[in-house]
Structure 1
Amino acid sequence: MGEGMGNEAQIMPYISSANISCGFHAGNLDTLKKTIELALEHNVAVGAHPGYPDRENFGRVSQMLSLLEMAELIAEQIYVFEKVAIPLGAKMHHVKLHGALYNDCAKDAALSKIFIQTIQAIDYDIIIYGLSGSKTIQEAKKLGQPFANEVFADRTYQLDGHLTPRYLEHAMIHEVEDACKQVLEIVQKHQVNTIQGNPIEIEADTICIHGDGINAVEFAKAIYSSLKNNQIEITQA
């Protein structure tokens, strides 16, 4: 959220936590401030959403950075987030990396380790949102940092548990009914069907809906209702 889509007010009533751009891959200080204020109004937990500084590609193209450069990049964005959040009385609840940075860490233990150590240098209580079962989650466990296994309502999965790359066909889920079906399958059965046609086991602590998706508002409303109708409690991970 806070990425310039302008749909935050419509989505906020249906979510329990928000990943808010720090202004590097999208957005700016004004959108960051307004989104945090909106989240506070709705009692939604706020988290920093650092990404590669690549507005042209919305932070969805990998960059070659050293471990030190990556640590500095993440720390700088956390600083920006807190500089805006603290005067508003908002506490950073979690950190979720954005786009290519998220996926790069999900597959790389060394990147995940430096990411988590960077967060630990700031606050040992901040929750790490990472791709369910990924290197990010594994490293958080090893380092003793709180974490939440994240699953996706609007993305498809590969057999190895990673998301289908966006450049491939069927990477995105576009229909509301399909998104709700996937979420319920994950939450109730702890499994998800892959694009290869085989189910895999998966754990869910938090569910992601991309705010820049064309159906983001409809997805948020429908998934919220679907979970409620199935007596599934929605809380902050």
Structure 2
Amino acid sequence: MGISVDLNSDMGEGFGSWSMGDDAALLQIVTSANVACGFHAGDADAMATTMSLAVNNGVGIGAHPGFDDLRGFGRFRMEVPHKTLANQIKYQVGAAEAMARAAGGSVRHLKLHGALANMASTDANLARTCYEAALEVAPAIIIMGLAATAMEEVARQLGCRWAGEIFADRAYNADGTLVDRRLPGAMIHDAGEAAKRMVAMVKAGAILTADGGELTTRIDTICVHGDSAEAVEIARSVRAGLESAGITVRAFSGDPL
């Protein structure tokens, strides 16, 4: 059996009269969509539109909850009491499930957004709070998280369905976390380079870090951030590169670890 991998993107991140990203174009390329749930971005209209497009394109729908931080796009680190954060995750997953059902689909997976995700990648207690909250609302949901981090270890302990994620447009630290966006080289803007890196990582079954190291891990899905100017070009290049290398691009199974 050959190698296969999912291709995902964060979307539905506009709200009101403000739009972000070319979701319609991305939804013709990716196999999974992580839809903002109204806290860091998105609103009811954006969710409805994005989820309808996802259903029409046969793309798997995911809830993409973040901190209650519209002003900072969910990228400001926040200290939220875990009980409150758990309720916020439940609230966002519930909203996503309702809107997906109305669009004729269903929520298949969960992926934390921005600062919340970065914090949970090194804080197992935070990751557990978020994941247990989501599973309480949707017991069969697939948890998508940063491969080879505390997120993966928590998913293993919980015995839940899991999809290990790597990023096409981000550089990696030696411990598997993402290089801070403020540092040089943190973002990958060249579509050809992104495709080459993803083919190499998927074939190796490992994250290739900025210092030349390798972290062996299960890779189920690749993310292209939908809010960058190069998002569609990178997604198209990565998919073409994978398929040219004989790697099948399809939705992940979400098997437990």
TM-score in terms of structure 2 length = 0.89
For 2:59, which of 38, 41, 44 is the aligned residue? Answer: 44
Q: Distance in 1 between matches of 2:134 and 2:94?
A: 11
Q: Which residue of 1 aligns with 2:174?
A: 159
Q: Distance in 2 between matches of 1:148 and 1:183?
A: 16
1:73 is aligned to 2:65: no
Look up the equivalent residue of 1:147 and give its one-letter code. W
Q: Which residue of 2 aligns with 1:148?
A: 163
Q: Which residue of 1 aligns with 2:109?
A: 94
Q: Which residue of 2 aligns with 1:205?
A: 220
Q: Distance in 2 between matches of 1:105 and 1:14?
A: 28
Look up the equivalent residue of 1:99 and give its one-letter code. G
Q: Which residue of 1 aligns with 2:126?
A: 111
Q: Which residue of 2 aligns with 1:2?
A: 12
**Count of residue pairs brought into register by the alignment:** 237
Whether the 8 Å contact between 2:94 and 2:137 is mirrored in structure 1 is no
Q: Distance in 2 between matches of 1:186 and 1:93?
A: 25
For 1:172, which of 184, 187, 200 is the aligned residue? Answer: 187
TM-aligned CA deviation for residue 19 of structure 1? 0.2
TM-aligned CA deviation for residue 191 of structure 1? 2.8
1:131 is aligned to 2:146: yes
Q: Residue 56 of structure 1 aligns to a residue in which SS?
A: coil
Look up the equivalent residue of 2:198 and give its one-letter code. V
Look up the equivalent residue of 1:3 and give its one-letter code. E
Range with greater deviation from structure 2 (166-175 or 146-155) = 166-175
Q: Distance in 1 between matches of 2:95 and 2:139?
A: 19
Q: Which residue of 2 aligns with 1:189?
A: 204
Look up the equivalent residue of 1:100 and give its one-letter code. A
Unaligned runs of 5+ in 1: none
Query: Identity of paired residues, percent?
Result: 38
For 2:34, which of 11, 14, 19 is the aligned residue? Answer: 19
Q: Distance in 2 between matches of 1:151 and 1:22?
A: 22
Q: Distance in 1 between matches of 2:103 and 2:25?
A: 21
Q: Residue 13 of structure 1 aligns to a residue in which SS?
A: coil
- After superposition, the C-alpha distances for 1:79-107 in whole angstroms (9 at most, x for unaligned) are 22122112222111000000001111111
- After superposition, the C-alpha distances for 1:153-189 in whole angstroms (9 at most, x for unaligned) are 0000001111001111111001011101110111001
Whether the 8 Å contact between 1:186 and 1:203 is mirrored in structure 2 is no
Look up the equivalent residue of 1:123 and give its one-letter code. A
Q: Distance in 2 between matches of 1:170 and 1:150?
A: 20
Higher relative contact order (CA closer than 8 Å, sequence separation 6+): 2
TM-aligned CA deviation for residue 145 of structure 1? 0.7
Look up the equivalent residue of 1:2 and give its one-letter code. G
Range with greater deviation from structure 2 (66-75 or 190-199) = 190-199
Unaligned runs of 5+ in 2: 1-10, 15-19, 253-257
